[in-house]
Amino acid sequence: MPTQIVRVPAEVLAALPPGTKRVVLHVGAHRERLGLLPQPGGGRYLMLRKTLCEQLKMRIGQVFDVQMEADPAPDHIDLPDELAEALAAWSEAETAYQPLNNAMKRAMARHVAEAKTPETRARRAVQFVERLARSGHPFRNPGQ
């Protein structure tokens, strides 16, 4: 299942507090924090990444009952333990991490968390902090 785009109906947007940019989506027992992305010409949509579609066992054309609420902590980022530990162990990386925008921090956290094995999660976390500590971009090898 590829990434899916879900247009949020105008009446659902109207029920959210004004200015809501992040939501908590509930699909059955699964809970996911997502950004409300702007549509050209108005309106908002959600992007359900491939791994989320796989977790939910989605099929194209399948209908889901979902609940959505404004994210009560839109700036909170769930850091995987491996990334939190790696940042704590390397102060230069922690210092470089702090000014990054939340979208970049979420992407780093997701990239580490979605690894299938503990070894891969640890390796990805170490790669990020090494790049950050060397004042690099977290997703690019030094020199790129």
| 79-136 pLDDT per residue, tens | 999 999 999 999 999 999 999 999 899 999 999 998 999 999 999 999 999 999 987 7
Mean pLDDT over each residue of the chain, to the nearest integer: 89
Average pLDDT over residues 1-5: 76
Average pLDDT over residues 15-31: 91
Starting at the edge strand found earlier in the chain, the sheet holding 66-70 runs 30-35, 22-27, 66-70
B/e letters for 7-42, b = 16+ CB within 10 Å, e = fewer, are ebeeeebeebeeebebbbbebeeeebbbbbeeeeee
Query: If we measure between CA atoms, which residue out of 106, 49, 89, 136 comes closest to residue 144?
Result: 136
- The answer to whether the CB of 83 falls within 8 A of the CB of 112 is yes
Q: Please, which residues bridge with residue 31 across strands? A: 26
